[in-house]
Amino acid sequence: MEDFVRLRINSGVQPIAMLVKLNHCLVERDVIRILIYCRL
């Protein structure tokens, strides 16, 4: 039963972690774009 619960938690957490990673990449890209834009 414990393994099942752990598996459920992992499968629930991983998509969230992926979403956070994706958001972070998008934000970084925007920040870089803004910095380049400001320099020009």
Q: Is residue 7 part of a domain?
A: no
Domain extent, residue 21, equals 14-39
Q: Is residue 2 part of a domain?
A: no
Q: Is residue 6 part of a domain?
A: no
Please state whether the predicted TM-score (pTM) of the whole model is above 0.85: no
Q: Is residue 27 part of a domain?
A: yes
Q: Is residue 18 part of a domain?
A: yes
34 backbone dihedrals φ, ψ, rounded to 5°:
-65, -40
Distance, CA of 16 to CA of 11 (rounded, Å): 9
Q: Is residue 1 part of a domain?
A: no
Distance, CA of 29 to CA of 36 (rounded, Å): 11
Domain count, the chain: 1
Tokens 């099942």 sit on residue: 4
| Cα dist from 39 to 12, 33, 35, whole Å | 42, 10, 6
Q: Is residue 23 part of a domain?
A: yes
At residue 29 the predicted structure's pLDDT band, cuts being 50, 70 and 90, is very high
At residue 9 the predicted structure's pLDDT band, cuts being 50, 70 and 90, is low
Rounded mean pLDDT of 27-31? 91
